[in-house]
Structure formats: C-alpha cells, structure tokens
Amino acid sequence: MTTTQQRNGVNVEQLTQTMDHIKQQPGLADFKFRAHTEWQQGAKSRTSITSLYGAGQEHGESGRQFNLEGDEPDVLLGSDSAPNAVETVLHALTSCLTVGFIYNAAAKGIEVRALDFDVEGNLDLQGFLGLSDDSRPGYKNITVRYRVDSDAPREDLESLCEYVQKTSPVVDMLRNPVPVDIELVS
C-alpha cells in the first residue's frame, strides 16, 4: 500500500509529477481563464466563472460554477452588498500569494501551521472620476504584511516569500503592464 505525501494540505507527489509533465511538454502550461460579467443594477454586477482551458484540454463542462458579486461601498454610491473591483484585486493578490507560499513551502519540505496576510491599497479617486490627469485611476501602491507560523528559520521563510513574489501571476500582473484589448461586439 502506497501513501501519498501530504504537506500543508498539498499532495507533494502530484505537484512534482505535474511539474515534471510540464517540463517534458511545455505546451501543457498554456492556460486560458474566462469569466462572464453581467450588470445587475446600480453598481452591482455578477461574474460567472465556469470553464477554463489548460493542460491541453477544456475543463468545467461537468458543472464548474463560481459566481462573484461586485458592488461599491455606500460612500461610492453603491449598496455595499459585495466588495468592489479594487477590493477584489486585493483578494486576488493575497489568494495568489497564499497558494504560492503553501505549494512552494510543501515542495521545499516546510511545514506551515498558519499563514495570513493583511493588505492595503491606496487609491486617489480623482483619476477614476476623470478630475485629474495627474492621478492614475488605479492603485498608487499596495502594502502586504504576512505572518507565518512555522518551525522554519525566518531567513527560509523570507527567501520563500521572495520566490513566491517572483513566480506569482497576480504580483506579476500588478507590477508589469498587461495588454488589455476591449471591443464592442454585437
């Protein structure tokens, strides 16, 4: 009977096998994520995420369904029934850092008992409202603070976090421009 090595809730054997498959067939690394968003009313919207393409095939035909709600806080004329888009970006950032940290810790043999992040983004609404060409509409800066409960030395945890930042898709998207094409379709 074989036992699967689990570390931090991650199947380390499967993680290693996945990495080996991608090394042998780099095309398996090409993924396409999709979402569909519909305006509800006022500042409210609903985004459905059902399918993705990755590892050489479509995924999601068997009922994969996630719905994300969007709104604005009262102070920004919304009904405050869901996070707004820039708050969702903070979630995406820390969610990506969490996965990267835990997966890479597992691969390196680091046991993590607890991990949490506090994140804060500073934004000047003058850019969003079109009141100033000197203010960008997006975040001016984002600060992330994290705590990790582990027996690993602090230097190893800091080194791990540096590596995670280097390999995080969301950190990369926030630090580097991503081409965005928007077109009206009929």
Mean pLDDT by 10 residues, the chain (186 residues): 73 85 86 92 94 84 86 94 96 97 95 97 93 93 97 97 97 96 94
> Can you give the pLDDT at residue 1?
46
CB neighbour list of residue 147: distance below 8 Å, 6 or more residues apart: 114, 115, 116
Say yes or no: do domains 10-82 and 84-177 share a fold: yes
- 84-177 CATH fold: GMP Synthetase; Chain A, domain 3 (3.30.300)
**Adjacency order of strands within the sheet including 57-59:** 32-33, 52-54, 57-59
> Can you give the pLDDT at residue 3?
55
> Can you give the pLDDT at residue 4?
63
pTM recorded for the entire structure: 0.89
Q: Report the candidate in 45, 52, 122, 50 with the shortest Cα–Cα distance to residue 90.
A: 122
* 3 state DSSP class of 33: strand
> Can you give the pLDDT at residue 56?
83
Pick the CATH number of 10-82 from 3.40.50.10860, 3.40.50.720, 3.90.1570.10, 3.30.300.20: 3.30.300.20
Alpha-carbon distance of 21 to 17, in angstroms, equals 6
- Please report, for the chain, the start and end positions of each structural domain, with discontinuous segments joined by +: 10-82, 84-177
Q: CB neighbours (10 Å) of residue 9?
A: 9
Q: Which two tokens stand for residue 142?
A: 């984002």
Q: The dihedral of CA 102, 95, 169, 51: what is its sign?
A: positive
